[in-house]
Amino acid sequence: MNDLFNRIMVEPLDRFLNRVIQFLPDILTSVLIFISGIVLGLIFKKLFLRFFNTIKLDRFTERYGFVEMLKKGGIEEPASHIFSRLIGWLTMIIFSIVALRTLNVPAIERILEKFFLYLPNIFIAAVILFIGYLLGNFIGRAALITSVNAGLKVAGLVGKLVKLTIFLLAVTMALEQLAIGRGTIVITFAIIFGGVVLALAIAFGLGGRDIAKEYLEKKLKGEEKKDDISHL
């Protein structure tokens, strides 16, 4: 009876206690790394906030439309705060991952390995989206101003179309990077883009036939009154 009790209760408990004792240093190390991560994250946040203020990051981001983008998304915080907080969080996340790895649990290690392998893709996709947004805004604004100065009545539409096309291209590239619906996304983009161009061509061809005729007649016959003003 005693032997049975030992085999059912005492030995497993002993093994469990042994494991706990073996595992305890790992847990302690893990907790220590985790706490260091939090402390370092907070320090980095403050340090980078000072650095961003010194290099006048807020003025730079305002110039390139980043602040406008954030405001549209309901975020009123300055870019320096956002980026410094991001760096703080990134530090904490990295330390948390390291803390988890020190636990030496095979299941966690497998998940972490997969996560680490995928992480660069997420980062690159985020960068692509960010650059795509800034570039879309910049070139869209340039197209808008040029169209207005050329006297194009559809200047607003031209600006928006250019901006949207660049952003769509960035989204496609980001999704491609994340390996989400690889072939489908590219084909969808090509179909949508081709469709838009075809629709515009047909619309201009049919709807704008008379306008085009009138315009060409004016140009060829010189009916339009021109300015002789010498601006300089």
Using the rule CB under 8 A, give the single segment among 4-12, 164-172, 190-198, 223-231 that binds another protein.
223-231
Instruction: Encode burial over 66-84: b for 16+ CB neighbours within 10 A, e otherwise.
Output: bbebbeeeeeeebbbebbb
Number of Cβ within 10 Å of residue 65's Cβ equals 17
Q: Quick one: which of 10, 13, 145, 179 contacts another protein (CB under 8 A)?
A: 145
Dist CA 47 CA 177 (whole Å): 32
Least CB distance from residue 228 to another protein, whole Å? 5
| 47 vs 145 by CB, closer to another protein | 145
Taking the C-alpha atoms of residue 15 and residue 10, their distance in angstroms, rounded to an integer, is 9
Whole-angstrom Cα distance, residue 63 to residue 38? Answer: 33
Taking contact as CB under 8 A, which single stretch among the options 10-18, 149-157, 164-172, 202-210 is the one that binds another protein? 149-157
Choose between 130 and 138: whose C-beta lies nearer to another protein. Answer: 138
List binders of another protein among 42-81 (CB under 8 A): 59, 62-65
Q: Which two tokens stand for residue 208?
A: 């704008």
134, 159, 165, 170: which one contacts another protein (CB under 8 A)?
159
Interaction of residue 221 with another protein, rule CB under 8 A = no
**CA–CA separation, 137 and 114 (whole Å):** 35
Positions in the binding site for another protein (CB under 8 A): 59, 62-65, 138, 141-142, 144-149, 151-153, 155-156, 159, 224-232
